[in-house]
Amino acid sequence: MPLSTRELAEYLDGYLRVHEIEDSRNALNGLQVENDGTLSCLAVAVDACQVTIDRAVELGAGVLLVHHGLFWGGLEPLVGRHGNRVRALMRHNLALYSAHLPLDLHPEVGNNAVLARQLQLADPESFGDYLGHRLGVAGTLQTTRAGLVDRVRLEFGVEPHVIAAGPDQIRRVGIVSGGGGAMIGDAVRAGVDTYLTGEGTHHTHFDAEEWGINVIYAGHYATETVGVRALAAHLEERFGLPWHFIDHPTGL
């Protein structure tokens, strides 16, 4: 039986616990733009921007599923680039669904859970506090710092920025996808010697030095490609809905 956008959104709301998880007020998790009709395929991307919207239209997708939605800049009039994005979605009957923290946190398809599985962390457990949520995943990993950096290069196709302030021999790794630099202290309190995240501010170099922890910045974008892909694969398995990942890296 064909799946409608509304039915897909209702399933995602429940599966991701969208209405239970507090997030930034500008995240507006859930269905941000609706449409009519049934779905033949799904497009997924990290960000809702003009490039990913236009590509989803070219692919004939009924829904674009993203991690970062339309409203991160807050209230904006529907003019200029913001208006162009919304008009493109409406003109081509393309719905938009966004899942930020609900996707980061999910134990199966969440960015951090998937990253932990890809890097083969043993005995994973949550750590950290972000808006009342234990956002990160920490686990044991017996490798060298150089070995983990090589694995990150292979997995994500990026050249990570490494703050080599911890031990050469790694025992325990913490992960927070995206802009998790401010959570180095949470990683230290979780007992990790190496912290993997997307990006951080200048002063986090000194945080790492003075706490004696390795920090690997693998890119905000790169570390958040895994969740939307895993979620799309789950939807394909459950509903038989084919999907396309739209890769639009920022290098950040």
**Mean pLDDT value of segment 15-37:** 94
Q: Is the pLDDT of residue 37 over 70?
A: yes
Q: How many degrees, rounded to 5, is the angle at CA 89 between CA 88 and CA 93?
A: 115
Question: What CATH fold (topology level) applies to the domain 106-222?
Answer: 3.40.1390
List 249's β-bridge partners, or say none. none
The C-alpha atoms of residue 113 and residue 103 are separated, in whole angstroms, by: 10
* Of 29, 27, 52, residue with least CA distance to 42: 52
Asked whether this chain's domains 3-103 and 106-222 adopt the same fold, the reply is yes
Contact 103, 87 (CB under 8 A): no
For residues 138 and 127, is the Cβ–Cβ distance under 8 A? yes
pTM for the model: 0.95
Domain edges within the chain: 3-103, 106-222
d(C-alpha 150, C-alpha 159), whole Å: 9
pLDDT tens column, 104-158: 999 999 999 999 999 999 999 999 999 999 999 999 999 999 999 999 999 999 9
Statement: residue 1 has pLDDT above 80: no
E-assigned strand segments in 99-179:
122-127, 136-144, 161-164, 169-176
- Which tokens is 92 given? 């081509």
To the question of domain 3-103 being in CATH 3.40.1390.30, the answer is yes
